[in-house]
Chain A
Amino acid sequence: MTLARDIVPADLPAQRVALVDLLDRVLAGGVVVTGEITLSVADVDLVTISLRALLASVSALATPAAEGTT
């Protein structure tokens, strides 16, 4: 597979980029044809704790007037 890049973010090793792109496609792409006795697993989270879920849960805890406290 050819990689044609103009500017690459300097902090991305080539191997990791390829794996992420690959997993993105095989896990979230492709046709899903399920029947009664098929097994098909989709949308597997690679990070088992999602920061977005964390943000949603802690934002309710953030108090506005934290005067003089840490």
Chain B
Amino acid sequence: MSADLGVWAYAITRDDGGTDVSSLTGVADAGVRAARAAGLTVLVSDVDLAEFGEVALRRNLEDLAWLETVARAHHSVIDAASRLFPLLPTRLATVYSSDESMAAALGPRREELLAALRRVGGRVEWGVKAYAAAEAEPDDRVPAQAADAGDAAGGRGAGLAYLKRRRAQLSSRADAWQSALAAARAVHAHLASHAVLTRLHPPQSPQLSGSQRPMMLNAAYLLDANDGTGFAARVAAAADTHPELELDLTGPWPPYSFTADDGQDGR
């Protein structure tokens, strides 16, 4: 008995009729084909619903190993294709029951998608994350045995002294935070002025980012494809100007963050 198949989507592009994606390999080692839908072209793979159907997806998406494998395969198709023509990545785990249902879903969105394609044509995304740099006094722990001058008689006043020390530490941390936040805003404003569009993402939690340092900025910038070197130089200069931040630049990416109409105008 043949498997029930679904249609896994990678990206949307214009229907130019000449899209050759036969050399690409996608999720679950499936081949990639260009499907015509609603006057657009969608890069897709045919996938087994036993692994990629709704129930299976909800289970598999919580398996980090599975998710990593599929996410990398998904991205590799998008990345390779984005070097050939402008495209809009579709969100991971967009699965249709058939080409026909995919066309029905895309039909109403056709003009909006064409506009988005024009917006990203010849452009790439760069990401900048800013972390608050490690403070001068990293050790937040107050030693319990610290004895101030007035604590002689059996540690009298030690409790009050502890509270005063903690208040001072928290206060200086607050100042450092404010300083890093102001710096992050300044850096974003500066970088945004050199971008076509920008998108601010929520800062990542330490569990997600893997960093002990708080994330002060998580932004995406849409740039003309040949602006990358200049942009990287600006980020490096911004890092020099703001030692209270650690900056992390990644890219170029396909325009994941710029498929919808709500990016902020840079210029």
Contacts and interface: CB of A to CB of B under 8 A. Distances in A.
A36 B96 CA distance: 9
Q: How large is the interface on A (under 10, 10 to 19, 20 to 34, 35 or more residues)?
A: 35 or more
B105 A38 contact: yes
A40 interface: yes
A32 B9 CA distance: 10
Given A16-B210, A51-B207, A29 B250 contact: no
A31 B102 contact: no
Interface in B65-120: 67-68, 71-72, 74-75, 79, 88-97, 101-102, 104-106, 109, 113, 116
Contact of A26 (B62, B75, B105, B248): B75
B101 A3 contact: no
Interface in B5-20: 6, 9, 12
Contact of A29 (B67, B72, B113, B259): B259
Contacts of B57: 39, 41
A33 B106 contact: yes
A9 to B, nearest CB: 5
Interface in A30-67: 30-42, 44, 46-48, 50-52
Given A35-B102, A44-B62, A24 B204 contact: yes
A58 to B, nearest CB: 16
Interface string B17-54: 00000000000000000000000000000000000011
Contacts of A38: 94-97, 101-102, 105
Q: Which 3 A-B pairs have the closest CB atoms?
A: A35-B105, A29-B256, A30-B91
B248 A37 contact: no
Secondary structure at the A interface, as helix, strand, loop or mixed, is loop
A7 B247 contact: yes
A24 B207 CA distance: 13
B168 interface: no
Contacts, number: 166
B210 A20 contact: yes
B247 A12 contact: no
A47 B239 CA distance: 30
Interface of A: 1-9, 11-13, 16-42, 44, 46-48, 50-52
A62 to B, nearest CB: 16
B221 interface: no
Contacts of B89: 25-26, 29-31
B183 interface: no
Contacts of A13: 210
A1 B250 contact: yes
Given A3-B250, A20-B209, A31 B232 contact: no
A25 B105 CA distance: 22
Given A33-B105, A40-B95, A6 B61 contact: no
A44 B248 CA distance: 24
Given A21-B127, A29-B89, A31-B116, 9 more contacts: A3-B249, A8-B248, A20-B204, A25-B253, A26-B89, A27-B71, A36-B101, A36-B105, A38-B102
